[in-house]
Structure 1
Amino acid sequence: MHEIFYDELRKLNVRFMEMGINVSEQIYRSTKAFIEHDKELANKVVSDDQEINGGEIQLENQALKLIALQQPVASDFRTIVSVLKASSDLERIGDHAVSIAKETILVKGNPRVPQIEEKISAMTADIRKMLEQVLDAYVKADEKSARNIAQEDKKIDEQYKVCRDLIVKEMQHETKTAVATSSYLLVAGLLERIGDHIVNLSEWIVYSKNGHLVELNDKQ
């Protein structure tokens, strides 16, 4: 019976990792589409979101079935709960990637501001690195790494503030880029929120490891 349970738990973790990899790719493609004005790629991001949403539903069903049929001990129960909660954060990250892709479609053909787009591109690279690191920490159940990764979100917050200030300055002095700057502000905000979700993922790793619900990057 234990062998069956741990085999199913392994499958659950594999499904979670597959979802995480897909979401990371969505972030890359959505921001690439936005920066490169690639409407076709943006549409692909939007259509592929159904696969991520379907993956989350399958993962939830699999996790709930595992709890109901196997009645896991406390440590294994925490692992399953953390997967459930973390998959919800991944799904929200995927939703944000779709929103970025939709902005590509909206802004296509309007005057742009390369300096701001460079800031958004750099912010994206750091966020993807954080997500890849947190997925690796999840696989290794590495609480120390999870805590360190969460602190990287402070850098994302600073990048957002710099980007926001540039956007506001552009808005005040240039009217022809109004459509683009409005989208820049939205995209930068979405990236900042993705960073917050990555912090949540780190917190679920800590919970899975020791059962403690913690705030790893209190912004108040």
Structure 2
Amino acid sequence: MRRLFDEELADLDSSFTEMGMLVSQTIQKAVQSFVDHDREGARQILENDHQINEREAAIEKKTFEMIALYQPVTTDLREIVTILKAVSVLERMGDQARNIANSTIRVKGTKHIASIEQELGVIGEMVANMVSQVMEYYVKNDALGAESIAEANHKLSQSAAKVRTDSVNGMKENADLVDSAADYLVIAGYLKRIGDYTTDIAEWIVYKRTGKIIELNPGYNFFI
């Protein structure tokens, strides 16, 4: 029985990690599509969104089955609970990537601010790296590393705040830029939210490793 449990838990771990990598890649593609004004690329992201949702549903189903069948305790139960909680966070990250893709498709024929779009591209890369990093911490069971995600998210918040300031200034300076600047604000907000979600996963990694519930996103990282 223990061997079967270990094998199924390893499969569950792999499925969760693969979903995390898929979400990271999707975020990166979504931001790049927005920056490049690539509406076709954005449509592909929307068409593939079901893959993330289906993975979440399958992983959740598997966690419930394992809890019912094996009735795990202590560290085994914490690992399954961590996956159950964190997989829903990954799905919400995927929703934000979908929102970015929708924004890319909606925007058409407006004037752009190249410097802000470049900043958004950098933030998108930061966010995708944070997602990849937090998944690596999960695989390594690295609670200390997971806690460091909070610092990365604080830096991301500062970058998002700069986009907000630059977008507002752009609106003030040129009324023709209002539509584009409004979209920049929205995209920065989506990316900021994904950054917050990475800290949620980091908190569950700490729980998995130590059994302690901690707060890595106390609310000082605001956007609007």
- Could you tell me the TM-score, scaled by structure 1's length? 0.98
Give the structure 2 partner of residue 58 of structure 1: 58
Query: What is the deviation of 1:211?
Result: 0.9
RMSD: 0.9
- Cα distance in 2, alignment partners of residues 5 and 108 from structure 1: 52
Amino acid at match of 1:218: P
Corresponding residue number in structure 1 for 2:211: 211
The residue that corresponds to 1:67 in the other structure is 67
Deviation at 1:150, TM superposition (A): 2.2
Structure 2 residues without counterparts, runs of 5 or longer: none
Q: Distance in 1 between matches of 2:150 and 2:198?
A: 7
Give the aligned partner of residue 26 of structure 1: 26
- 1:65-144 pair list within 5 angstroms: 65-144=65-144
Q: Is the 8 A contact 1:207 1:213 kept in 2?
A: yes
Corresponding residue of 1:197: 197
Give the Cα separation in 2 of the matches to 1:3 and 1:151: 39
**Scaled by the length of structure 2, what TM-score is found?**
0.96
In the aligned structure 2, how far is the partner of 1:78 from the partner of 1:147? 18
User: How many residues are matched?
Assistant: 220
Q: Deviations over 1:104-153 (max 9, x none)?
A: 01113221110110111111111111111111100010011101122211
1:19, CA displacement in angstroms?
0.6
How far the C-alpha of 1:219 sits from its partner, in A, is 2.4
Amino acid at match of 1:49: D
- 1:46-100: CA deviation from partner (whole Å, max 9, x where unpaired): 1111110011000000000000000002211110010011101100000000000
**Mapped contact 1:111–1:176 kept (Cα < 8 A):** yes
Counterpart CA distance in 2 for 1:108 and 1:4 is 54
Deviation at 1:40, TM superposition (A): 0.4
In the alignment, is the contact (CA less than 8 A) between 1:151 and 1:216 conserved in 2?
no
Question: 2: CA distance between counterparts of 1:206 and 1:45?
Answer: 32
Indicate the residue corresponding to 1:164 in structure 2: 164
Give the C-alpha shift of residue 217 in structure 1: 3.1
Give runs of ≥4 in structure 1 deviating > 2 Å: none
Q: Give identity over the alignment, percent.
A: 38
Provide the rounded CA distance (Å) in 1 between the counterparts of 2:40 and 2:93. 21
- Per-residue deviation at 1:27? 0.4
Q: For the residues of structure 2 that align with 1:27 and 1:108, how far apart are their CA atoms?
A: 21
